[in-house]
Structure 1
């Protein structure tokens, strides 16, 4: 019997059965050994094949006083980031304690000094909420307001931070009127109010340029109604004169110019308003029934 059809080219027959040569057996055995070795290698690389040993790491807890002094030292060196972490640790490890209160005001301070204004604002809000009657509450409110103040954008952008600054400074002045921070707070309040008025003027001038007079009037009216103590009010009255002339609402145009001339007779904006009316054969004349007149009468002009 022949076995030429089998896939072995060097088979021999023994007892009527095909037998692999020794070399073939060794080759087969080598493949098996390699497979086993490969399995062992993969097993050695498998992190889940080894028993897990948990080694707890014991981190010593520093006393609050030590952390506080460390925070003060870092703050004095200008390491506001390290100081912030030290004071924050005290707050987390010692809630409701005197150390937590002391560290919270310091955390607000170093966040502000380090330029982390959002963190400073959040810490300031937390402090004034938890300790509204403490001796440092006015300072916390001042830092809160200044954190918003530092984020005031230019007049062409959204003024959300400016609005928050106004509210925070007003709270400082109303809640802590005898505080040493009130004087600076009033000055900065005027600055941010000027900023808000400037934003309204920017938008109003845009609408005026697009000949959307109604939208422009609404913006200038906002300035006249809410920001009378700002430097923008003179221009706002002149722009109202301009917009009302364009709409043909003569009485309101004359009133805006008359109120402008009465309150700011030397203003270059009044000269412009007067010249505009004169070019139309008109002159300033106040209508006491106008909303403009009512805003500036009865001591409403601040």
Structure 2
């Protein structure tokens, strides 16, 4: 490379460096000069005081703008944690997430509230919202029932920890529904085994319903299926007991009519053995 070319390259490099410095300085000056014109709310930030944001959130709720309301409450929560406004915003953030169908987020926010404010004036309501969010996730009995179990746990806390709250009655209703779902799952599995003539496995599932979920609407069928399974295995005395308990508690049930017909076809009738587990469990049945 000749001397002229080398000098030219060095000059170009210096100019490039100078240009970069000037551009950087210019950018910094421009940014400083225009900062006052930047709408930082577009960057996800809020500048209003928490009480203003809270009222804006309530106004958005009233107008049906649930997502915008949630954004206001979340801003308070982020910028004013462990304050009274932050506490109130956390309640409303749990509510808006639940209403938006963001159940896992509602549960997470609600649990955070309960860990920070377990004895506050809104703790019963937030615990109730957690239970509602779980209940919204309960699936058909053909699917996993973890949400039903978690609904029971969450709503049981409402009933036990806040017995005088206005949410107890509905919490108890949600518990009954969730327990019925769990019983329904047991019945589904039990019927599967019964159809495959795996009678012992079927009996275990139907027994779970009678003993663990006696106050559900699955019990009638469970007793009838126990009659069927025991009779198929040749354990006639238990079949008679299951039918007798079914008839005593649900005399007008079609399930009882079917069970009676099954036994009668074999020349026997319902008859209760007081020493049977079925008889012992009968005292807890919904129809007892």
TM-score by length of 2: 0.82
Q: Work out whether 1:116 is the aligned partner of 2:65.
A: no
Rounded Cα–Cα distance in structure 1 between residues aligned with 2:264 and 2:156 = 42
Rounded Cα–Cα distance in structure 1 between residues aligned with 2:270 and 2:206 = 18
Rounded Cα–Cα distance in structure 2 between residues aligned with 1:69 and 1:219 = 53
Structure 1 residue runs of 5 or longer lacking an equivalent are: 1-31
Equivalent in 145, 148, 165 of residue 159 of structure 1: 145
Instruction: For residue 265 of structure 1, give the secondary structure of its aligned residue in structure 2.
Output: coil
> Aligned residue for 1:231?
217
Whether the 8 Å contact between 2:97 and 2:103 is mirrored in structure 1 is yes
> Aligned residue for 1:132?
118
Whether the 8 Å contact between 2:210 and 2:285 is mirrored in structure 1 is no
Rounded Cα–Cα distance in structure 1 between residues aligned with 2:270 and 2:115 = 52
> Aligned residue for 1:218?
204
Rounded Cα–Cα distance in structure 1 between residues aligned with 2:188 and 2:247 = 23
Instruction: For residue 81 of structure 2, give the secondary structure of its aligned residue in structure 1.
Output: coil
Equivalent in 75, 79, 82 of residue 93 of structure 1: 79
Deviates more, 1:254-263 or 1:52-61: 52-61
Rounded Cα–Cα distance in structure 1 between residues aligned with 2:220 and 2:160 = 28
**Structure 1 residue 51: Cα displacement:** 5.0
> Aligned residue for 1:104?
90
> Aligned residue for 2:163?
177
Pair member with larger Rg: 1
Equivalent in 76, 83, 98 of residue 69 of structure 2: 83
Instruction: For residue 253 of structure 1, give the secondary structure of its aligned residue in structure 2.
Output: helix
Instruction: For residue 165 of structure 2, give the secondary structure of its aligned residue in structure 1.
Output: coil
- For the aligned residues, what is the CA RMSD? 2.9
* Residues 27-85 of structure 1 deviation map (CA, whole Å, 9 limit, x = unaligned): xxxxx9xxx9xx99xx89xx99x758565768573311121112112111111111112
> Aligned residue for 2:180?
194
Structure 2 residue runs of 5 or longer lacking an equivalent are: 41-45
**Structure 1 residue 157: Cα displacement:** 0.7
1:1-302 correspondence to structure 2 within 5 Å: 55=31, 59=40, 61-297=47-283, 300-302=284-286
Structure with bigger helix share is 2
TM-score by length of 1: 0.79
Q: After TM superposition, where is structure 1 displaced by more than 3 Å over at least 4 residues in a row?
A: 50-61
